[in-house]
Amino acid sequence: MAETALMTLNRYRLRHHARLKRRNALLILKLLKRPDRLLGMLLIGNTLATIVASALATFLAIHLFGDTGVVVTTIFLTVVILIFSEVAPKTVAALYSDKVSRVVAYPVYLSLILFYPLVWFINVIVNGLLSLLHIKVGSRAHEPLSREELRSVVYDTAGKMSRQYQSMLLGILDLNKALVDDVMIPHHEIVGIDMELPWEMIQQQLAMSPHDWLPVYREDVNQILGILHVRDLASIYVEGKPLNKDILLQSLKEPYFVPQGTPLNIQLLNFQKQRKRIALIVDEYGEMCGLLAVEDILEEIVGEFTTSVSSSTKVDPQSDGSYLVDGAITLRDLNRATQWQFPTRGPRTLNGLIVEYLEALPHTGTCVRIAGYPIEIMQVNENRVIVARIFPKPAEAAIE
């Protein structure tokens, strides 16, 4: 029981209890640091008990029944040892390893001290033989979990942790899989202030803007002048200063550029180090690809906020079981909202996926099947899919 309980013990729960300074956990960790000594002591006792029991039973059987008693004793003792010394106790120990390990920890430790010379002698021989096979035996540090193993641990917390917290933890683990390209606001959807517009239109845009940060440019977003924090204009109003284009330009902050293809986990750390909240994504030629806010990364972890810098895209369920989907929605958001499995490597939006599949410009009424999902193009504008109707996978496709 001791052998099975100590070897099947949950190591992470044990380390948690050890950090809480629980004596049993500290003692068990001390025993497990040298598994060769622990197993040596346990197996010495186990082997000794088995051999003594066999010798005594054989002696008594021959004394009582003669030579025929050896066969009877062998069968009887095999059944007894198998049931009462192996299967039954080890099954209990495997099912209740925490409780059993706490009970056996101190007896095992005292036995190890008592039989240490014999254990040491056996270990010298065994470790010497193992060294010939290039197996090094000694105190080993525990191996850290990989990212995928951590995901499995989080999945195993179902029922012990709310689904929201579970999704947040999985979101953190998945940050390294996503790039800034996956969550940025595309170039054509960036909302900013064009300084070439009349001042009255700029004032109206400032008053109606739902965003805290706005890029300021001349004629085109690629001619960026800076980033405006709308709240900075409030202090100007409070001071009673007149607001005009020159004052607005003086309030701009230096734009922060990020190369395309940066992983989200690295970019989140960069936002923290640079003390920035808005980044402009540029490609290898320096052309503007999109805009990324720190809130867009946080949404990957905690879910969508009620207000966001990014434009909202919709997935509207219909009475016939289909969904009307905005063509600009990212495939990652679509998969998350519907639990579907559209491929996320390659095009990042539904429109891009359909165009790549068609290898031609989309037209209203065209129907395709991508990843097993029937898709009908409902609305097209400027060669882009604006709205598509998507049906869930047919039963036979889902089975495949």
Q: What per-residue confidence (pLDDT) applies to 310?
A: 41
Pairing mode of beta strands 213-218, 220-229: antiparallel
- pLDDT of 226 higher than 70: yes
Any residues with CB less than 8 A from the CB of 5 and at least 6 apart, and which? 93, 94, 96, 97, 100, 101, 104
Alpha-carbon distance of 34 to 138, in angstroms, equals 6
DSSP reduced 3-state for 283: coil
Q: What percent of the chain has pLDDT over 70?
A: 94
Q: What per-residue confidence (pLDDT) applies to 400?
A: 47
Alpha-carbon distance of 343 to 373, in angstroms, equals 12
Alpha-carbon distance of 362 to 366, in angstroms, equals 7
Q: Topology of domain 315-399, per CATH?
A: 3.30.465
| Average per-residue pLDDT for the chain | 84
Any residues with CB less than 8 A from the CB of 348 and at least 6 apart, and which? 181, 182, 330, 331, 332
Residue-wise pLDDT for 347-388, tens only, equals: 888 999 999 999 888 899 999 999 999 999 999 988 889 999
- pLDDT of 307 higher than 70: no
Q: What per-residue confidence (pLDDT) applies to 312?
A: 44
Residue-wise pLDDT for 80-132, tens only, equals: 888 988 899 999 998 998 899 989 999 999 988 888 888 888 888 888 888 88
> 328 or 390: which carries more pLDDT confidence?
390
- Reported confidence tier of residue 266, pLDDT bands at 50, 70, 90: very high
Q: What per-residue confidence (pLDDT) applies to 171?
A: 82
- Reported confidence tier of residue 292, pLDDT bands at 50, 70, 90: very high
Among 134-143, 208-217, 284-293, 313-322, the least confident range: 134-143
Q: Which of 150, 171, 137, 130 is nearest to 12 (CA)?
A: 150
Q: What per-residue confidence (pLDDT) applies to 305?
A: 61
Mean pLDDT computed over 325-332: 87
- Reported confidence tier of residue 141, pLDDT bands at 50, 70, 90: low
DSSP reduced 3-state for 383: coil
Among 46-55, 128-137, 379-388, the least confident range: 128-137
Q: What per-residue confidence (pLDDT) applies to 304?
A: 67
Alpha-carbon distance of 2 to 32, in angstroms, equals 12
Q: What per-residue confidence (pLDDT) applies to 115?
A: 86
Mean pLDDT computed over 178-193: 86
Pairing mode of beta strands 193-194, 213-218: parallel
Any residues with CB less than 8 A from the CB of 273 and at least 6 apart, and which? none
Q: What per-residue confidence (pLDDT) applies to 258?
A: 93
Q: What per-residue confidence (pLDDT) applies to 139?
A: 54
- Domain borders along the chain are 2-132, 178-302, 315-399
Q: What percent of the chain has pLDDT over 90?
A: 18
Alpha-carbon distance of 380 to 337, in angstroms, equals 23
Beta bridge partners of 380: 385
Q: What per-residue confidence (pLDDT) applies to 308?
A: 43
Q: What is the DSSP letter of 158?
A: B
Q: What per-residue confidence (pLDDT) applies to 126?
A: 85
221 close to 288: Cβ distance less than 8 angstroms? yes
Q: What is the DSSP letter of 175?
A: G
Q: What per-residue confidence (pLDDT) applies to 142?
A: 61
Q: Topology of domain 178-302, per CATH?
A: CBS-domain (3.10.580)
Can you read off the two tokens belonging to residue 48?
Answer: 């000794």
